[in-house]
Amino acid sequence: MAFKEHHRDRGVQWRRGVDLFILLNIILNQAEAQIRYSIPEEMKKGSLLGNVAQDLGLDLKRLRSGRARIVTGENIQFTELKTDKGTLVVNERIDREQLCGDLTPCSFTFEMLLENPMELHTVTIEVLDVNDNAPTFQNSHLEFEISESAVLSSRFVLESADDADVGENGLQNYILTPNDNFVLKQHVNPDGSKYAEMVLQKPLDREEQPRLSLKLVAVDGGNPQRSGTVNIDVNILDANDNAPVFNQSVYKAIVTENAPKGTHVVTVNASDIDSGSNGQVTYFLSKSKAGIADLFDIDETTGKIYVSREIDFEKDKKIEFRVEAKDQGGLTDSSKIEIEVIDVNDNTPVINVMSFTSPLSEDSPPGTTIGIINVKDLDSGENGQVRCTIEGSVPFKIKSNVRNYYTLMTDAALDRENLSECNITVVASDGGSPPLLSKRTFYLKVSDVNDNAPVFPRVFYSAFIPENNSPGVSVLSINAKDPDENQNARVSYILEECEIGGSPVSEYVSVNAESGMIHAVRSYDYEQIKELVFVVKAQDGGSPPLSSNVSVKIMIQDQNDNPPQVLYPVQTGGSLVAEMVPRSVDVGYLVTKVVAVDVDSGQNAWLSYKLQKATDRALFEVGLQNGEIRTIRQVTDKDAVKQRLTVIVEDNGQPSRSATVIVNVAVADSFPEVLSEFTDFTHDKEYNDNLTFYLVLALAVVSFLFITCLVVIISVKIYRWRQSRILYHSNLPVIPYYPPRYSDTLGTGTLQHVYNYEVCRTTDSRKSDCKFGRAGSQNVLIMDPSSTGTMQRIQSEKSILDEPDSPLEVSLII
């Protein structure tokens, strides 16, 4: 209870000190505060040490958001931070003797680190000693050989007891069992340690008592009190009445750490005025603190002290021990050795990673923190001064914020397309000569953001496709590249909405969203549409998505899929069309012209005309390119009136297509001759029994029509004469007249213009020639087979009788 009350009072005093210390540090430095707690050693795991959040004035939310953690830099973490309560508890068994040895006060320090913004608070835990160790002697038995002539007040150094506890719990007193010859005298070293000597107070008499058995008890000041005992046997020798004496009470020396074994440190010297064997002195290291004397060896004869084990400055900065000189009679003297250890640069800086963020987004601004490191060097002075740099040329820098802590951050904007990953090597070097350094490599991966749109390698795509293609056929493939990665680089192809010929473009083509392959949706007809121009958009899968467009032109190639179409002569189902050729025409006379067109283009529309069949092949020929039917010899009376020509029209495609037309030619000088021949030609069998009836009826009809035509011609001539007088005095435009059933191809066929043919005949020359570009007269005779050869209509624009030399164009329709 007394121990607990004692430490409770000390804890209250330390609490007041903590509060004052925290208040001063908060006022002086908001980013770095220091607190101190005092606790007894050997506390149970989980025991409360203190409320850190309350003592530092921090909110619990700040502890969680700042990712508060304890940074010790040691292998054993004695304390644990409960961020949910803001308390500090015991994490591992704390043994003051193991932690500090005989160093007092005993404490250990660690930092509490918070981020965003970064704060560093130093926490010091003072470990108070409890009396859990009894004083112990290195040996359980001591032997002394003392001459009986030893003078009074002779001193005999006893082995020091070692108590791991400190303060009141440490070694307090030595007790020697009562005897008549020796008393105990205790001494205190400058470092506070105690040692005892037996002082002879009464002369020895070997004859009375040759041997003494004593006990030395070492007691501490703890409650309950603990003690240790060693047995002392004193062998009394014959007279050696002078003890060795050192020439110095204190020897001082300097040695560098890590000095090799056998390095000479210092030489001690003691003299004994006795002669003979009683004056021979031997040296040895006194039984002092465990482990200290093991660092050195002493030559028993010369008194030279050498290094026997490696000395570490970080553990022992100053070493003190005692050396004894003993003569052959057992008399001794002791002296103190003080050795100062000089530090050398033998510790490389140690890099500890507090936090590191990977991957890092490429759109992180310059100055973004990616990691926090702690660098420590156990050496002292300039040997312990650390400087950190980054190796190589990388867009990162390192900055020191607080003591021994460095922040690794970006120094420039990142671009994953140029730098997708990076090894950042941090070099920590100390200030020693030569300097020692250590390296730590951090692997950083840069994550992608959607900052690049898909790019087409070409600004324009074009392709050809023949018409009459199969629906769904592949036309061409487009491809866009996106330098981003994963979903941001996944390109989809979209057909932009537009119209082609009044219809949506989707009715003509489709685009595969994944591959970019363009397919024809339907079969194309070159005669309807000759090319398709549209836009395809490439869009990535980022958020928001980025896109780019490209124009695509598909040109449709013509195929020979249309046969020629005959425009003239017109093939009628119920009537027979014939061209009349007078027998008096010359060689080369233009009978008619076969006019045909092909809606295909190019060489598929180049037409050629050939005479396939003819009643008399020696009479007519067909122009290969123009389709003109001309006579190739003089017409004779032996030639048949009825001439039937079959003309084939072929295009130049592969394979070629063709069309046939039948041209009926009447070789005669008068209409009756034509009528009789063609009536027989078409209806010989059908009207054979009524031939006389039809001839009479035809004559009557012809006579009637002839008289009617004369009347009409005279009336029309008078009318036109009057109109010409009116037009002569007016500025009205003249409208040309085209023959019926004659169509202009408007430039779509092989004939690019409208042609009218006129035949010029004279009464005496019997010659004819062809002229183009003028409208000529036309006589058309139409007969219906069902009317038994009766002439239904005769239309004449000019009278042959009135103008015998006028051009004559005759068409016969039966």
Contact 780, 811 (CB under 8 A): yes
pLDDT at 709 over 50: yes
Q: Are 218 and 137 in contact (CB under 8 A)?
A: yes
**Average model confidence (pLDDT) for the chain?**
79
What would the mean pLDDT of 113-125 be, rounded to a whole number? 87
92, 345, 489 from 33: Cα distances, Å = 25, 31, 50
Residue 613 corresponds to which tokens in the numbers above?
Answer: 């069949």
**pLDDT for the residue 462:** 93
What was the pLDDT predicted at 802? 37
Contact 677, 576 (CB under 8 A): no
**Residues making up the chain, counted from first to last:** 814
Rg, C-alpha atoms of the chain: 66
101: region left, alpha or beta (phi > 0 left; psi from -120 to 50 alpha): left
What is the pLDDT, as a whole number, of residue 674?
66
Instruction: Give the model's confidence band at 28: pLDDT under 50 very low, under 70 low, under 90 confident, else very high.
Output: very low
State how beta strands 547-557 and 460-466 pair.
parallel
State the Cα–Cα distance between residues 202 and 213, nearest whole angstrom.
16
Quick one: pLDDT band at residue 724, thresholds 50, 70, 90?
confident
Average pLDDT over residues 483-503: 89
Q: Which residue has the higher pLDDT, 769 or 44?
A: 44
More confident residue, 777 or 589: 589
pLDDT tens digits for 657-685? Answer: 888 888 888 888 777 766 666 555 444 44
Give the number of other CB atoms < 10 A from CB of residue 554.
21
Pull the structure tokens for residue 184: 């105990």
The answer, yes or no, to whether residue 553 has pLDDT greater than 60, is: yes
Mention every residue, 6+ apart, whose C-beta is less than 8 A from residue 721.
none
CA distances from 93 to 75, 99, 297, 792 (A): 14, 11, 36, 136
- What is the band of 580 on the pLDDT scale with cuts at 50, 70, 90? confident
Task: Identify the three-state secondary structure at position 529.
Answer: coil
582-605 per-position pLDDT tens digit: 888 888 899 899 999 988 888 888
Between the two ends of the chain, the Cα-to-Cα distance in Å is 149
Q: How confident is the model over 135-182, as pLDDT tens digits?
A: 888 888 999 988 878 888 888 988 888 888 887 888 889 999 999 999
Name the packing angle between helices 671-683 and 691-728 (round to 10°): 130
Q: Is 517 helix (H, G, I), strand (E, B) or coil?
A: strand
Model confidence over 276-291: pLDDT tens digits?
A: 777 889 998 887 666 6
Q: Is the peptide bond between 105 and the residue preceding it cis, with omega within 30 degrees of 0?
A: yes
What pLDDT score does 612 carry?
85
What pTM was computed for the model? Answer: 0.47
**Rounded to an integer, what distance in angstroms lies between the CA atom of residue 385 and that of residue 377?**
7
Rounded Cα–Cα distance for residues 609 and 596 (Å):
9
Residue 103 has pLDDT above 90, yes or no: no
Residue 567, both tokens: 């425009």
**Cβ neighbours of 559 (radius 10 Å):** 17
| Interval 680-700 mean pLDDT | 64
**pLDDT tens, 34-77?**
899 998 988 888 888 898 888 888 888 888 888 888 888 776 78
Nearest by Cα to 315 from 274, 258, 265, 375? 258
Query: d(Cα 286, Cα 505) in Å, to the nearest integer?
Result: 107
Give the Cα-Cα-Cα angle 806, 810, 811 (nearest 5 degrees). 160
300-314, 372-386, 734-748 — which is least confidently predicted?
Answer: 734-748
SS3 of 69-106 = EEECCCCCCCEEEECCCCEEEECCCCCHHHHHCCCCCE
How many C-beta neighbours within 10 Å does residue 410 have?
19
Q: Write out pLDDT tens, residues 368-422.
A: 889 989 898 888 878 888 889 888 888 999 988 778 889 999 988 888 888 888 8
Q: Which pair of structure tokens corresponds to residue 486?
A: 């994963």
In which band, very low, low, confident or very high, does the pLDDT at 21 lie, cut at 50, 70 and 90?
very low
Q: Which of 574, 558, 520, 511 is nearest to 539 (CA)?
A: 511
SS (H, E, C) 682-730: HHCCCCHHHHHHHHHHHHHHHHHHHHHHHHHHHHHHHHHHHHHHHHHCC
The span from the CA of 430 to the CA of 419, in Å, is: 32
- The reply to whether omega before 434 is within 30° of 0 (cis) is yes
**Which has the closest alpha carbon to 440: 425, 453, 419?**
425
For the segment 605-627, what is each residue's pLDDT rounded down to a tens digit? 889 999 888 888 888 899 888 88
Tell me the C-alpha distance between 672 and 675, whole Å.
5
Phi, psi of 79 (to 5 degrees): -120, 160
Per-residue pLDDT tens over the stretch 197-216 = 999 999 888 778 888 999 99
Distance in angstroms (rounded) separating the CA atoms of residues 551 and 571: 48
Average pLDDT, stretch 762-779? Answer: 37
Look up residue 147 and give its amino acid. Answer: S
| pLDDT score of 550 | 93
Asked if residues 510 and 486 have their Cβ atoms less than 8 Å apart, the reply is: no
pLDDT band at 473 (very low <50, low <70, confident <90, very high): very high
Q: What is the pLDDT of residue 268?
A: 93
795-807 average pLDDT score: 34
Q: Exposed, middle or buried: residue 401 (CB in 10 Å: 0-12, 13-18, 19+)? A: middle
Look at residue 775 and tell me whether its pLDDT is greater than 80.
no
